[in-house]
Structure 1
Amino acid sequence: MSMEKINIRNSILALIIIAAAATRFLNLGSFSSWSNFTPIGAMAMFGGAYFSDKLKAYAVPLITLLVSDVVVNYSYFHKLVLFYDGAFWVYLSFILMVFVGTYIKKVSLISVLAASVVTVLIHWLVSDIGAVLMTGSLYPKTFAGYLQALVAAVPFERNLLVSNLVYGLLMFGGFEYAKTKFPALNFSKTTLQHS
């Protein structure tokens, strides 16, 4: 596998992740019943599944998330917010979602569906730790408070699951289709390891 093919593939993968992240800006300034319908879970899985270089698999989705978070937070709070209360837990859940993506060895509807469910469970269980530990949290800093946060988060996690499925279908399906048309995009992690 030539370096040129790897660079083309990596560039296309990064562009897909950035394009998905840009959809976070479509509904800025309003909270709605579709809060948490974002591409973040699909971005994480996609990066983990397709980048053969582990550093890129984590760095590209994480940097994209960070930059898009800055834009989204600025639109809501009208000031530069790099890290918000609970950000550590959200980013930890995101790193774990990328890790789940690394286990997608063969892209199929079943593997993306299973990874979508697992990443939502990770996001739900890990990010709500931050919701409880935040200064001024609505929940007591106890296990009972954590359970309250989990229950309150169910509608948001439902939206994340739907968005994982929609964005996952677009990102994974789009890239798999592109691989059939452009051979430079088509190689597996195992091919790269043996070349």
Structure 2
Amino acid sequence: MKLVSRTLSLLVMTGIAVFFMGCDGGGGEDKTQQEKQLIKLNSTWALSKVNNDGTDRNDFLNIKLEITGTYAQDGTYNYKFASGGTLPNPSPWPKYGTWKFGANPLTEIIRDPVSSSSTNPNSEIDMNYEVTDTQLIITFVIPDGSLGWAGGATRAKAVKGNWRFEFTKQQ
């Protein structure tokens, strides 16, 4: 009887030990909203559709948006637009720059935030975004009077207005 009792006790103790070995101790911090969103955004995105003030634009050819960066609280990250493609001239996007999360990191980013090292203090653009595992949609407004940024084609077109860019995640 003692043998059965000891064996049963040993099995229960072993089971408890195995269960707790699978736990991380509860001391790990959860990722912040910014960190979770950065993980989703860090990728290469192929441009699938562009709309400016209700008109589809077909002059953005083979464009890719590369978003890169390592998480830092309230950090600034990098982007490269037009990777391997051609932008209209002028363009509502610079070819590369920096960005950071806005007040709501789930839906807002600031492209080319003004800093002490900014070469163009008028380049800051508030943007809204939606991101899933496979799609990124970015919307923003370029105010009247903006000159835009140099593109890659010779066609000149105003950059002002409401913009919507839809991207598909590259594998």
Q: Report the structure, 1 or 2, having the larger strand content.
A: 2
Q: What TM-score, normalized to structure 2?
A: 0.32
The one of the two structures with greater contact order (alpha-carbon pairs below 8 A, sep at least 6) is: 1
Q: What TM-score, normalized to structure 1?
A: 0.30
